Every structure is written in structure tokens, then in C-alpha cells.
Amino acid sequence: MKRIILTIVSLFPMLSWAASETPEATASIAIFIGRFHPLIVHLPIGLVSLLFLLELLSRFQKLAIAPNLLQILLWLSFGSSIASVVVGYLLSTSGDYDVELLSLHMYNAYVMSALILAALISFKIYLNKEKKIWQNSYSLFIYSSFVLLMVVGHYGGSLTHGATYLTEYAPWNKKAERKKITNINEALVFPDLILPILEKKCISCHNASKIKGGLRMDEYEKLIAGGEHKDVIVAGKPEDSDLYKLAILPKTEKRAMPPDGKVGLSNQELEIIYWWIEAGAANTQTVASLKPSPKTLQLLQQYFLPAENTSALEKIKVDAVTNEQLTDLRKKGVQAIRLGKDDQKLQVQFLEPSQTTNAELKNLSSIKNNVVYLDLARTAITNDGIKEIGAMKNLNKLYLQETKITDGASNVYGTFKQLEILNFYNTAITDKTLEALSACSTLKKIFLWKTATTKVGQDKLRKALPNLTIDIGLDSTKIIMQTDTLKKI
Ligand code: HEC
């Protein structure tokens, strides 16, 4: 069929050059012409509606209409609906449309064109024979063409705007907007977490009207059903799921998603999708019901409620650090990890905390501006060590739990202009340190469990820094997680 149509089209001198080129050129010229479809269809819409109106007027208002005029209108209606069908067919060869809707749209359009032709023939016979039956059959064909016009138009609209376009905002269709998540535990995994990610990076090509690869992602069931390949999502097995497999391919691979150099999924997004598939690719279960590990919870928290954890971090820009530098540090017992793949910001820990003294901190001088998380928990450092790290101007999280530090280090904290999280669990600090901290306006959370601080001192600090969360006694394994319950304390 495409061949026949293209042969006809190529009779037009302007287009013949392209149709005779390579198959790709033929395909693209087909789509080029196809895109005139939305323009052309307005002709039969107007003409058939006019014929319908004239028929009503002549029948019920006895309005006399010149038969010649009617004949012209009928020919124009038939011609323009055939043109629309042909051009529409070319458009459909792009393969971007919902097959079911497309065939409903197309077959109804064929029937409508046939009905207009039938009306034209009836009218001709009626003009010749002047028999009432032909007049009636003409009316019938015109009425039914008009009905079909509505049907065809509806499916056409659904094709371009999505099947729910018409009724989406109807008063009876109260599809509640998902409200913004405030507590990650209560978020529904697909609608709140996965869909928004896909909407950002994938759905522009995988939706109701553009169905690349036969795959739709705008609805859970459609995504699970898959596209041309059925294993888009293999619940429990991210490595076997095309959604994940194609998204982690290097950009140079032909099948990499998204194609054409479009911005792909970030590492965080990939990890979230990996977790989701591995946990069974659930739909409306809550995050809590899937029992994510603390690490996953933290990941979700950081991605979906970033203001809580990474606001200051995002703004920090630091000089480059080489991988050789990091390897050298490792030999000295320092584990320095980049926050992200190409990130220059580092998270630093010592491989053997109990062997780590103030002297070891000197090893960090070459990366002092890159360290944003510093974990000194359970090391043997003292107040003098804190003074040593005072030069780390980008420090964002500092873990000092179970060390020998005291109030003697309290005047150093004010030098960290990005400090948000500070952990003093099981140290000897007192209210004197808290007093010094009241000048650290960037602080968001401190841990004071098992310290010598008092409620009076804590309340004073709370007053000075109203946005600060003070943790005074929860399981220390929960200290990295930031949940609503913690906030209420
Ligand atoms: C610019 C348009 C575009 C964007 C954006 C896009 N895709 Fe695709 N996708 C395609 C095309 C085209 C195909 C068909 C490729 C083929 O058949 O080789 C496809 C096919 C797929 C398939 C295979 C479907 C099947 O059953 O064969 C998967 C899975 C997929 N895409 C995932 C994604 C993911 C995940 C994203 C977002 C990170 C994405 N796509 C974004 C255009 C796009």
C-alpha cells in the first residue's frame, strides 16, 4: 500500500526526486508529507459538517439548496477525506502511535469516506431519477458520515493527545494529583518515586501518542507489559530488565537509552530503579512496606527530599583531585571516596580508626579543600587534631563520636562555613561547646547522646538555631537517616 501511494505521490514533480532516493529518504518523505495530516483533516471536518447542516435545513426548514452546490460540496468532501486518509496513512508509517487507537481511527475513516461516496452516488441517482428512496438514502448516508466524523475525530484526538485527553479535566474525573512527598517512608513506589524519574528522562518518547519501541511508560501496567521485547521489567532481576540494561549502556552503544545524546539517568536514578526492580517492581506499595536498607533509605531521602541533606553541598565547588592521590592516601590508611563518579568532593574515613592519631590527620592536607564528609569516629584524635582539620573549609559532615575530644576544641567549629551535621555521640563535651556552636548558622543536625551536655544548654542552642535538629538519644545506627520522627524531637 505504501508503495502504491508513494508512486502516486511521486507523480507530483516537486516530490518525485525524494521518493526515488534511498529507502530511508522514502521513509522520511513519507513522514514529511504525513505531517500535513492534522492540517488537511480540517477540510473534511468542515465540509461534512456543512453538508450535515444543509441536509437538516433542507429537510426540516424546507430550505432550497442548489443541487449543483451540493454536488460540489460532496465531491470536495469525498476528495478531501481521501486525501486525509492517504496522508494520514503516511504519517502512521512513522510507527509512533498506539496500534489499537490507530486502527480504530483508520478503519472508521475508511468507512466515513465510503459513506460520503455512497451519499454522492445516491445524490447523483436522485438527480436523475428523482425517486424519494434515493433522497432518503442520501440523507441517511450524510447523517451517518457525520456520526462517523465524530468517532474518527475522537480517536484522532486521542492519538495525538493521549486517550485520556478529553476527559482528564472533566468534573466527574477527579484523578487526584499526587501530593508532594514529605515522608519518604510513606511514598508510593511507582507513582511517587519511579514515574517522576521516567517522566524527566524517558516519557517524552514512551507515552500514549509516541510509543517508541512499542513501549509506554506513562502507566504502570503498560510499562510492566513491555514493548517489542517483553522483558522490559523482570521483577526481582534488574540485570535482566531492559529498562535498566539499556539505561546503563554507554552513550556510544546503539541501543543506549535515551538515544540521540539526550540526558540519561543519573547514578542516583539508576540506583533507585535498580532497587525498585530488585524489590519486585511494585506499584502502589509504600517504601516502608518494601523494607529498604538504611543505605537505600538514605539514597531515596537524598534524591527526593534533597533540601534536607545536600543543599549546602550542591553549592560547594572544589579543585580537582586525581585518582593517584586517592590511591596514595589509601596506602597511608586513608579511605577517600568521591561522592559521585566524577565528583571532586570526598568522603573520608580511616581504615583503622583506633590506630589513627592527630599525626595521621596531616595526611589529609593535600585534599583539605575536597573533604566534605569526615568520619573520625572511634579514632584516637584529641582537641589538637580538631585544630588540624580547622583548615577544611568545605567540611559538611563531621563525625566525632566516641573520641577523646572535649570543650577545648569548641572554638574550631565556627571556622567550618558549610558544616551541617556534627556528631558528638559518647564524647565528653559540655554546654560550653554548645554555646560555641550557636554561631554555626549552617548547622542542621547534631547528635548529643551520651555527652555531658544538659537540657538547659540544648534549649539555649535550639533558641539560637531554630532549624537545628538535636538528637539526644536514638539508636546510633539510625543517625544517618533523617526521618520525620527524628525531626519532631
Ligand atoms: C528520544 C526518544 C527516546 C527517549 C527520550 C527514550 N527512548 Fe527508549 N526507545 C526509543 C526508541 C526509538 C526505541 C526503539 C529502539 C529500537 O527498536 O532499537 C526505544 C526503545 C526502548 C526500550 C526497548 C523496548 C522494547 O520492548 O523493545 C526500552 C527498555 C527503552 N527504550 C527504555 C528507555 C528508558 C529507560 C528511557 C529513559 C532513560 C528511554 N527509553 C528514553 C526512543 C527513546
**Ligand 1 pocket residue status of 226, Cβ below 6 Å:** yes
Whether the CB-CB separation of 290 and 279 falls below 8 Å is answered with yes
Predicted pLDDT at 76: 96
Specify the pLDDT at position 486: 34
- Atom 19 of ligand 1 has which residue's CA nearest to it? 213
pLDDT tens column, 89-117: 998 887 777 788 899 999 999 999 999 99
Q: How far is ligand 1, taken at its centre, from the CA of residue 185, in Å?
A: 30
Say how many Å lie between the CA of residue 358 and the centre of ligand 1.
Answer: 54
Whole-number Å distance between alpha carbons of 421 and 446: 6
Q: Are 85 and 110 a contacting pair, CB within 8 Å? A: yes
CB contact at 8 A, 167 and 107: no
Output the CA–CA distances (angstroms, integers) from residue 116 to 129, 149, 366, in the order listed: 20, 10, 82
With a 6 A CB cut-off, is 444 part of the ligand 1 pocket? no
At residue 355's C-alpha, the angle toward residues 349 and 358, to 5°, is: 75
Q: How far is the CA of 164 from the centre of ligand 1 (A)?
A: 23
| CA–centroid distance, residue 107 to ligand 1 (Å) | 29
Written as nine digits, the cell of 157 is 484526538
Mean pLDDT value across the chain: 85
Distance CA(457)–CA(317), nearest Å, equals: 35
Binning pLDDT at 50, 70 and 90, where does residue 143 land? very high
Cα(113) to centroid(ligand 1), Å = 36
Look at residue 295 and tell me whether its pLDDT is greater than 70: yes
The answer to whether the beta carbons of residues 349 and 381 sit under 8 Å apart is no
Site of grid cell 505531517:
35
Pick from 246, 251, 265 the residue to mutate for probing ligand 1's pocket: most ligand atoms within 8 Å of its CB: 246
How far, CA to CA in Å, does 266 sit from each of 201, 248, 294, 318, 359? 10, 10, 21, 21, 38
Return d(Cα 369, Cα 358) in angstroms, integer.
18
Nearest CA, atom 21, ligand 1: 213
**pLDDT value, residue 441:** 85
Q: Is 217 close to ligand 1, i.e. is its CB under 6 Å away?
A: no
Whether 294 has a pLDDT exceeding 80, the answer reads no
